[in-house]
Amino acid sequence: MRQGGTTLGSDNGIGVASMLAVMEDVDLVHGPLELLFTIDEETGLTGASQLGDGMLEGRRLINLDSEEEGVLTIGCAGGGDSALTFPVTSEPPAAGSAALEVRLAGGKGGHSGVDIHLQRGNAVQLLARAAFAASVSTPLRLAELRGGDKHNAIPREAAAVLVVPGGEAAACRRQIETELAAIAEEYRPAEPDLRWTIGDTAPAEVWDEATTKRALSLVNALPHGVQSMSYDIPGLVETSTNLASVARSNGRLRVYMSSRSSVASALAALRRRIRAAAQLAGAAVEETDGYPGWKPDVHSRLLGIVKAKHLEVLGTTPEVGAVHAGLECGIIGEKYPGMDMISFGPQIEFPHSPDERVKIPTVEGFWRLLTATLEELA
């Protein structure tokens, strides 16, 4: 079942439909219910963020925004973004200089939360690594460094323009080739299609020495990828960060970082680390307010009830896990401390794309689990 031509429908239309069905079915057994419908969950968790004190009376929450049959979700990541900027000082290229345009492509990219543990290459940081390696023995200036375009996507492609004295062009090209070849070999299991091109170009301006050093040092020093794993749930990423994009705009270089964690203190510490690296490079830092995570509670009473009902009604023991992405439960749990929460749903495939769909045969089991849980809680 899908909604043609749009990403809306399955996620989370099936959850909304289920809540409406609970409201209409007079034969269901349940206690007093509050049914919470929110707006803009996908584009900023706006509805949940606007919940005020005292709007909710219940202290058990069943979230119907999950996508895997047979999985009970008991945690999610919170997150926050950081924009690092500093001015780019440019000047005409020196007489007799040569310029190389280096492009790195073929990366798999992926979602900066749910795919971050796959250890795919960040094209921006890998290209900056090659340029930094070349700069150790060859005096070079940047004329461009760019890559990435979405805060929640791992950059798949990047480009840089390097300007060197004319007599150093061949050596610089060899150094870049050597480092990129080493990178390709390192990342081959995760990134078998990495490829690069190096061509001649002629920029009108180059960045001065100080700007070049600041840019390459900062991009190389910033953290990227998994920072820590959960102690409570094996295999779950607890804290990560994504070096999402680098671009020059209006005379400034802008480096955008997107960080996640299911532990608020770990997220705050990671963002301070990013700020520290930025300050060492003389970059200004702007941070979003972010959104809170939902720390897993493996001893949750509600979890115990739903696990038992899953086995009784569906005949199988569910998998218990968490997601390294944002859910409204993080915001609701922060606004209502002590809220006992769980999330489950039918099988949804290809969310956030026009191919988004719900697997119809899984809806019946989801409905039976939901109604049995409500009866038990009554």
Write down the domain spans for the chain: 10-77+293-377, 79-287
Whether 10-77+293-377 shares its CATH topology with 79-287 is answered no
Please report the pLDDT score of residue 114 as a whole number.
Answer: 84
The CA distance from 273 to 266, in Å, is 11
Please report the pLDDT score of residue 336 as a whole number.
Answer: 95
Please report the pLDDT score of residue 233 as a whole number.
Answer: 84
The torsion defined by the Cα of 107, 189, 241 and 328, in degrees rounded to 10, comes to 90
- The pTM score is 0.82
Report DSSP state, residue 5: T
Please report the pLDDT score of residue 353 as a whole number.
Answer: 64
The residues facing 87 across adjacent strands are 252
CATH topology (fold) of 79-287 = Alpha-Beta Plaits (3.30.70)
What is the b/e burial string over 202-213, where b = at least 16 CB atoms within 10 angstroms of the residue's CB?
Answer: ebeebbeeebbb
The CA distance from 67 to 217, in Å, is 41
Helix (H, G, I), strand (E, B) or coil at 103: strand
| pLDDT, tens only, 229-244 | 998 888 999 999 999 9
Residues 6+ apart with CB under 8 A from 250: none
What kind of architecture, by CATH, is found in domain 10-77+293-377?
Answer: 3-Layer(aba) Sandwich (3.40)
* The token pair that represents 179 in the structure block: 């480092």
Please report the pLDDT score of residue 6 as a whole number.
Answer: 53
Q: Mean pLDDT in each 10-residue stretch from start to end of the chain (378 residues)?
A: 56 90 96 93 79 92 93 94 97 96 96 92 98 95 95 94 95 97 97 97 96 97 97 90 96 97 93 98 94 91 98 97 91 94 92 78 97 97
Please report the pLDDT score of residue 2 as a whole number.
Answer: 52
Please report the pLDDT score of residue 8 as a whole number.
Answer: 53
Please report the pLDDT score of residue 4 as a whole number.
Answer: 58
